[in-house]
Amino acid sequence: MLICGYNSITKLLGGKIIDENAEGKNSIKGNPADPQILIKAGIKKEDTIIIAMDSDEKNIYVTLLARELNPKIKIAVVVKKKESVSKVYGAGADYVVLESEIVGKEILRYLLAPKVASFIERVIVSEELQLIGLKLPKVYVGKKIKDTDIRKKIGLIIAIKRGNDLIKNPAPDTILNEGDILIFLLQGKEINKIRGIMGQWILQKG
């Protein structure tokens, strides 16, 4: 997953951050509005990009650029102004979230909590996006992420809650352990689509 912009929101997400001020080992220093920077970051092979720049004008431009470089990529954009929502959708975004609606503290508290009490936990990020935490079914225990159908059935795992540890942006070779909580960032309407899958997983609880 690629993330364009370096701020309090993007720091919470697990992914490759692209920004001129980005810090950390999993980051690329450079302007996300530069197509060569995005290509270097691997945009043509990625399936998800989150754009949260410091202005909506930049968000719109990078959205257009991302869509041009990878027509199939899922684009989620965090905008500052409500009037920018339709413009960003028009530029090719799949999901658009108002920055003021993001409950950053709730996300952080959820991800770092020592225990997830219920079998399924949901945190509403905004009207567009929700965090879903799903306990790993026994059928997947001991398997690598790439050897399962989880991504196909539900989506990209953005993190794994393993005991008191949080594994952000887990690699495809990551082996899934019993008791893992898989964390997904999904669009609201996708929740209904996977309700049946969740039900099947719940039945496998025992």
Q: What is the pLDDT of residues 25-43, one digit of tens each?
A: 788 999 999 999 999 999 9
Residue with more model confidence, 12 or 52: 52
Q: What is the pLDDT of residues 113-144, one digit of tens each?
A: 444 333 344 555 555 566 777 888 889 999 99
Query: Do residues 30 and 66 both lie within one domain?
Result: yes
Q: Are residues 79 and 114 in the same domain?
A: no
Element housing 196 (H / E): helix 195-203
Say which residue, 52 or 159, is predicted with more confidence: 52
- Identify whether residues 88 and 179 lie together within a single domain: no
Strand 165-168 and strand 157-162: the pairing is antiparallel
Cα dist from 40 to 12, 20, 34, 82, 125, whole Å: 23, 14, 10, 32, 30
What is the Cα–Cα distance from 162 to 172, expressed in whole angstroms? 16
Q: How far apart are CA 119 and CA 43, in angstroms?
A: 34
**Mean pLDDT of the 182-206 span:** 61
Of 110-119, 140-149, 157-166, which one has max mean pLDDT?
140-149
Domain that holds residue 136: 104-203
Task: Judge if 22 and 64 occupy the same domain.
Answer: yes
pTM greater than 0.85: no
Domain edge (last residue) among 78, 100, 122: 100
Domain boundary among 52, 74, 100: 100
Local confidence band at 17 (pLDDT 50, 70, 90 cut-offs): very high
Of residues 99 and 143, which shows the higher confidence score?
Answer: 143
Of residues 179 and 70, more confidence is placed in 70
In this structure, the answer to whether residues 91 and 139 fall within a common structural domain is: no
96 and 109 assigned to the same domain:
no
How many structural domains does the chain have?
2
Question: Does one domain contain both 72 and 134?
Answer: no
State the chain's mean pLDDT as an integer: 79
Q: Among 80, 100, 120, which residue terminates a domain?
A: 100
CATH number at residue 165: 3.30.70.1450
CATH of the domain at 48: 3.40.50.720
Residue 154 or residue 45, greater confidence: 45
Co-location of 17 and 108 in the same domain = no
